[in-house]
Structures are given as C-alpha cells and as structure tokens.
C-alpha cells in the first residue's frame, strides 16, 4: 500500500511471441517457430516505452527460448528496473509434463534467464496457468529449483485452465515447501469467480469493466490485483493464420488494435509495481 492509502497492484507481462500462443498451437508446430517472423521484441519494447512514460514497473515472465534469441530485450527489461521472471523454457504446459521433465524445464529456464539478465530469478508463471489441483507437486519442484513464488493459478472455470477452488488472493499451496502463489485476479459474482486480471477478457469486454473490477478488489477486498498481458496482444498487424478454428480465431485476434490504448489507460488509472515488491510490506509506488 502507498503512503496515501492507495493499493499498489502487480503488473505483469508474459513474454512470448504470437506464434507461441495457445490458440495457435494447432497450426504452428514448435519445430517451425524459428521460421516464423518474430515480433516479440518490437511489441515488448512498445510496452516498455509505455511503462517508462507512465512510471510503471512490472514483472516480465519470460520464456528462456525468447531470452536466448533476444538478449538485448532481456537486458533492457532489467536495465529499466523491471523484475525478470520465468515463463519456462518453451511454453510447455506444466500439467502435461512429468515431474522430471518439469524440473528440466523450469530449472533450465531459471539458469538461462539469470545468465542473460545478470539478476536472480525468483518468480515463475506456468504457461496457460497450467498448475492446478492435479499437479500441485509442481510447487515442490519450483521450491527445489530455487524459485520463491509462483503466479500460475487462475481461480476460474475455463476450457484451457483454471482452479476455481483456489483462494482468490496470495496463499501457500504446499505448507511444507514455502512457495507462495499469487493468483490472477478475479471478482466473485453469483457463486462464481469472474476473470478480472487481463488476457482475452481484457480485450473482449469494455475497458470500464476491467477498471471497475480492479477498483472493487482494491476498495472492497483491500487487496492488490494481479494483471497480465502478452506482447502480441497489442499487435494488430501480426501475421494471420487462416486455418484457425473460429473459436481460436476469435480469442486470439479480437480487439488487438485497442489493447495498447486500454493498457495505457489502465497504467494511469491505478498504481502498479513489480510482483516481488507488491507482495512485501511497506512498498511505495
């Protein structure tokens, strides 16, 4: 909380390219990633420019696959005072990996990001929020690999992800491992949690609803919101894949041209900081 009583919210960016998004998984094979025209650097620089203009600090959950190919981008993230965190190695869902494969994924990503960024990496976000009730063992692996916190749970019902029974705010998912979980923000309505922390819902619904939801969490719950965005979500000029199913096309391409303006408004309407500072007492924005 700030000295003036305003809640400091957590801003985060999931640094991945457009062709790595879940909606495109059926049309772009991993083996073809290097053949796709990359747009992640220019889009992330645009977000970094916005944050610099607005005085916002954020946490950048970065794929080590991206970091290895865009070293200068990672160094700007760190140099601008943002937190460098892990999104894993190659955007593989946590819930389809064995514990051994997951350990190689998150351990390797942490070491690679630290080598490039020159800072300790403490945070992790599972691709597609893929830690849930069936793979809570993932938190044990994260702790053993040196992570301090996760932001991998979305307490909603969704066809790709979700753990609706999870607490809405920071919690210890495994009391014996010490990893803290900072779930994506939701608001309760009629017995269900509604998404309020960014992503497709930020693009789908009018901005006023996102603003109202975050304001409610700050005022009624007296809690910090956790918001996330992807660099490809501000890029209306990205290549279009015509073979996408209608549902995936709608989810991925809707309102891309409006997102940067909405993010600019969001940055100015609330107080934001890095996740590692938001969840410590006494932070001043």
Q: pLDDT by residue (tens digit) across 134-183?
A: 999 999 999 999 999 999 998 877 656 657 788 999 999 887 767 999 99
pLDDT band at residue 283, thresholds of 50, 70 and 90?
Answer: very low
DSSP summary character for residue 97:
S
What pTM value is reported for the model?
A: 0.95
pLDDT band at residue 243, thresholds of 50, 70 and 90?
Answer: confident
**What mean pLDDT comes out for the span 128-138?**
93
- Contacts with 121 (C-beta within 8 Å, 6 or more apart), sequence order: 84, 85, 86, 110, 113, 114, 147
**What mean pLDDT comes out for the span 186-195?**
88
Q: What is the overall mean pLDDT for the chain?
A: 92
pLDDT at 284: 42
Phi, psi of 14 (to 5 degrees): -95, 105
In the chain, what are the domain boundaries?
8-278
pLDDT band at residue 1, thresholds of 50, 70 and 90?
Answer: low
Q: pLDDT by residue (tens digit) across 207-224?
A: 999 999 999 999 999 999
- Chain centroid to Cα 44, Å, comes to 13
According to CATH, the topology of domain 8-278 is TIM Barrel (3.20.20)
Write a three-state SS string for 153-216: CCCCCCCCCCCCCCCCCCECCCCCCCCEECCCCEEEECCEEEECCECHHHHHCCHHHHHHHHHH
Q: Are 129 and 184 spatial neighbours (Cβ–Cβ below 8 Å)?
A: yes
Residue 285 above 80 pLDDT?
no
Q: Are 69 and 38 spatial neighbours (Cβ–Cβ below 8 Å)?
A: yes
Q: pLDDT by residue (tens digit) across 79-123?
A: 999 999 999 999 999 999 999 999 999 999 999 999 999 999 999
pLDDT at 44: 98
pLDDT at 52: 98
């Amino acid at each position: 909380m700030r000295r003036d009583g305003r809640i400091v919210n957590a801003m985060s960016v999931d640094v991945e390219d457009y062709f790595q998004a879940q909606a495109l998984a059926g049309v772009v094979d991993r083996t073809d990633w290097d053949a796709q025209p990359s747009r992640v650097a220019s889009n992330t620089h645009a977000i970094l420019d916005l944050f610099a203009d607005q005085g916002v600090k954020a946490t950048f959950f970065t794929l080590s696959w991206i970091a290895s190919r865009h070293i200068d981008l990672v160094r700007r993230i760190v140099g601008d005072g943002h937190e460098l965190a892990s999104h894993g190695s190659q955007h593989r869902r946590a819930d389809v990996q064995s514990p051994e494969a997951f350990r190689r994924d998150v351990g390797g990503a942490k070491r690679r990001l630290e080598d490039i960024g020159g800072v300790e990496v403490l945070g992790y976000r599972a691709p597609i929020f893929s830690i849930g009730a069936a793979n809570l063992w993932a938190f044990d692996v994260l702790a053993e690999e040196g992570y301090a916190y996760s932001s991998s749970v979305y307490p909603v019902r969704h066809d790709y992800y979700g753990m609706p029974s999870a607490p809405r705010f920071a919690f210890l998912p495994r009391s014996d491992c010490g990893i803290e979980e900072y779930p994506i923000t939701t608001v309760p309505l009629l017995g269900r949690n509604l998404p309020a922390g960014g992503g497709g819902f930020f693009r789908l619904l009018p901005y006023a609803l996102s603003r109202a939801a975050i304001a409610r969490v700050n005022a009624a719950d007296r809690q910090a919101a956790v918001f996330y965005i992807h660099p490809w979500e501000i890029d209306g000029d990205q290549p279009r894949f015509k073979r996408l199913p209608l549902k995936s096309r709608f989810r991925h391409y809707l309102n891309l041209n409006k997102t940067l303006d909405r993010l600019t408004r969001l940055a100015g309407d609330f107080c934001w900081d890095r996740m590692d500072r938001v969840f410590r007492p006494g932070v001043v924005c």
